[in-house]
Amino acid sequence: MVDQIIQGKKEIKDVTHEVWMLTKVKEVTQCEVFGEVVLVQPKSRSTIAIADTRTELLCLTFDSYTRIIEKAIKKDLFTRTRFLRQFRIFSQMT
């Protein structure tokens, strides 16, 4: 899942399993995105996010991301096909 800070800020911390200590990795603020790598490399993560202030998040799941990308690809294909159909050689293309 990818998250974007809508309002507020968060510290991103990594969990060290051996001693269960939290180590600050980075701080993200309004309009910043974190966790986006999981969309192209789906694997489990051991990072947690802790809000320092009241925070609103916009969450994008892998499934939602995939649907958005598929829709964009279909739209692009339609646009390219429509362009090619302008030319006689491609006018009968299905």
Which residue ranges make up each domain of the chain?
Answer: 2-60, 66-94
d(CA 55, CA 18): 30
> pLDDT value at position 76?
94
pLDDT(19) > 70:
no
Q: What is the CATH number of domain 2-60?
A: 2.60.120.10
Confidence tier at 69 by pLDDT (50, 70, 90):
very high
pTM for this prediction? 0.53
> pLDDT value at position 37?
79
Q: pLDDT, tens digit, for every residue of 82-94? A: 898 888 888 776 6
